[in-house]
Structure 1
Amino acid sequence: MFGSANCTQAPSEAKTDAGVAGAGVLLSFIITNGLALLLSAYIIILNLRKSSEAKIVRKLLLSFSDQQIITGIGIQSIGLAKMETMIPYHFFIVWMLSLLSTSTHLATLLALVNDFKRDWVLRWLRQFLMFINLILSSVFGIFVLKSVMKNLAPALPIGCVWTLPSKNTPSNAGISIAGTIAVIAGNCIVFALCTWYLHNRNNQKWLKIIQVAGMLVLIATGIGATIRVILLSQAFGTPSVPLEDTGEKDWSFGQLLPLLLLLLPLISAIEIFRGEMKVPHSTVDDEHTPLFNGELEDKPDGQVRTSFQPNPLWGSQSNLFRK
């Protein structure tokens, strides 16, 4: 499987990869994560104040989230496809960027959970993307864990962890191993909690507490991953492996493009604002708000309105398996 990877002799210097660790690529992930966390916190604060004047902000946040989760899945897929040539330094940076991506779309889930519950297609699409991201992130964590346990030479491809025999584990590897296992386990736990949060029909009682606590955790995760990326990357810090050149610091069109793409959600938000200035404000977070056809009518037999649209193939508003 890894026959084409040269695992016999580690070069003295490794090649740079601006497509993974270039300044523009890193900044695009960091800026998107920061904006998404700020917008999510703003929406949650509005909800706590019983205000819902955030239609444009919601659409802007959703655009950043969709862009980030697709980009995160894409960069992880590319990392796995290049495991025979990608060194652990770049592999770890991709893993940190995937954590920023995860932090972004989970913050969006906390803030816009009622928007996803309104439409079963959006809800299950979000669930599917979260599952793909979890699988890829867990695989990355296993590779990083194996590289630490085998004390892989920093200039060898990450794919060599499956062919090389184990070496003496460094004395400080315990912290790295514990941290890697904690991140993998944390991702699995967060995925389970987010699945419950996304599909639970009656979480209004705990909604505010979950949103505030979750945002604090995601802000800490985003800050931690950002610090690691800045300190470890050649573009902003000191890499852990000697590199042949300074290509990851150079600004080219390939580095400017990810930053220019950040303008698209802003332009869309301006267009939406100009087109919907006279539209009544959104009240999707208000309790018992009519959200789809049929809820404007009074429910027979004293049934309570709900903002959860069931999957038309199975499940009802009160039961997941009964139509």
Structure 2
Amino acid sequence: MVNLTICTNAPDTTPSDAGVAGSGVLLAFIITAGIALILSSYIVLGDFRTNAPIAPKIISRKLLSSFSDQQIIEGIGIQAVGLAKMNTMVPYHFFIVWMLALLSTATHLATLLTLVQDYKRDWVLRWLRQFFMFVNLLLNVLYGIFVLETNIKDLTPTLPIACVWNEHAEDAGAQGNKTLSVVGTIAVIAITVVLFVLSTWYLHMRRQTWGKAVRAVGLLVLAALAIGAAVRVILASAAFGTPSVKLTGPREDSWSFGQLLTVLVLILPFISALEIFRGEIGVSQETVSEDSQPLNGSELKPMRYDRYSYQPNPIFGSGSKAFRR
């Protein structure tokens, strides 16, 4: 529980927190999202070309899956850290975590649109994605409620976010943009819920009508959401923009090993892609024995998007009638 004395006596400054708003953390989220959206666009646009090369599509799909997995895990992780520190974390840092989570959500859903057929072919992969989507939704909505309460109750920016549920000092300068902040927060929460419902329905449908068109339009919407979240993070953060509170302590735009490590981790998917390329493309299939064939060599066969493969869940059956199309 947060100390009630702290909630009624707001300090003039707040400690910095490079662990959630440092340059390396922000760049890692933004760069990962950018690469994933570019790969999604490349794959979706390639689906409209009947004579598109197979090899680049294999590498790009595996690379996209790696970046998406990394992004959704980091998004859930940073939200968990924010909730664990809610008794000390101020609304400024809490809001940045929420925006990074929205960026992670947009990236993950764009990957889902792009690689939906890969997930349909394996019920384990499909329900694993569903689990991560559900956990991410719960955290996103919870964060949105905290931010909404902060705007409605005019919480002083230098107080911990947990003070919003207790008697606290109010921010006298928050009345000017209060209505816009409340409406915007409610809209973001509603969009998050709607996207989860639509993505769940899309993931478990046996067959999509106008599949290519839905992927293209959905990718544009999610790219716009990701760009909006990234711009908001850049403008609001002390690392790249102007923070809403006065920070004390180590600068959030300074680089340390922890900040550098979050960016260096982005190299790992490219190393994996290079290994896949050298294993599947660089080695002649006629010169290798059967036991040295790549495990995923069958993926070199052209993929047919007019024929769908769907593996039902053996535990819960084939799913409800709403998904049988």
User: Root-mean-square deviation (CA), in Å?
Assistant: 2.0
> CA shift at 1:284, angstroms?
3.9
In 1, the alpha carbon distance for the partners of 2:226 and 2:76 equals: 17
In 1, the alpha carbon distance for the partners of 2:97 and 2:60 equals: 29
Deviates more, 1:4-13 or 1:153-162: 4-13
In 2, the alpha carbon distance for the partners of 1:31 and 1:59 equals: 17
In 2, the alpha carbon distance for the partners of 1:258 and 1:239 equals: 22
In 2, the alpha carbon distance for the partners of 1:127 and 1:166 equals: 41
In 2, the alpha carbon distance for the partners of 1:101 and 1:147 equals: 23
Structure 2 residue 89 is matched with structure 1 residue 70: no
Structure 1: runs of 5+ lacking an equivalent: 289-305
> CA shift at 1:318, angstroms?
9.6
> CA shift at 1:121, angstroms?
0.2
- 1:287 aligns with 306
Residue 5 of structure 1 contacts residue 157 of structure 1 at CA under 8 Å; is this kept in 2?
A: no
2:177 to 162, 172, 178: 172
> CA shift at 1:244, angstroms?
1.0
2:315 to 308, 313, 316: 313
1:186 to 188, 191, 200: 191
CA distance 1:164–1:4, change in 2 (3 Å):
closer
User: Percent identical across equivalent pairs?
Assistant: 59
> CA shift at 1:253, angstroms?
0.3
Structure 2 residue 191 is matched with structure 1 residue 218: no
- 1:13 aligns with 13
Q: If the length of structure 2 is used for normalisation, what is the TM-score?
A: 0.89
In 2, the alpha carbon distance for the partners of 1:317 and 1:10 equals: 53
Aligned length in residues: 304
Matches within 5 A, 1:113-132: 113-132=116-135
1:273-314 CA distance string (max 9 Å, x none): 1111154625445222xxxxxxxxxxxxxxxxx411111123
User: Which letter maps to 1:235?
Assistant: A
In 1, the alpha carbon distance for the partners of 2:243 and 2:134 equals: 31
1:242 to 240, 246, 257: 246
Residue 71 of structure 2 contacts residue 107 of structure 2 at CA under 8 Å; is this kept in 1?
A: yes
> CA shift at 1:316, angstroms?
3.6
> CA shift at 1:222, angstroms?
1.1
- 2:289 aligns with none
1:101-157 CA distance string (max 9 Å, x none): 001111100100000000000000000100000000000000000011111111000
CA distance 1:119–1:196, change in 2 (3 Å):
same
CA distance 1:179–1:267, change in 2 (3 Å):
same
User: Which letter maps to 2:191?
Assistant: G
Residue 47 of structure 1 contacts residue 285 of structure 1 at CA under 8 Å; is this kept in 2?
A: no
Structure 2: runs of 5+ lacking an equivalent: 286-296
In 1, the alpha carbon distance for the partners of 2:302 and 2:115 equals: 12
CA distance 1:81–1:317, change in 2 (3 Å):
closer
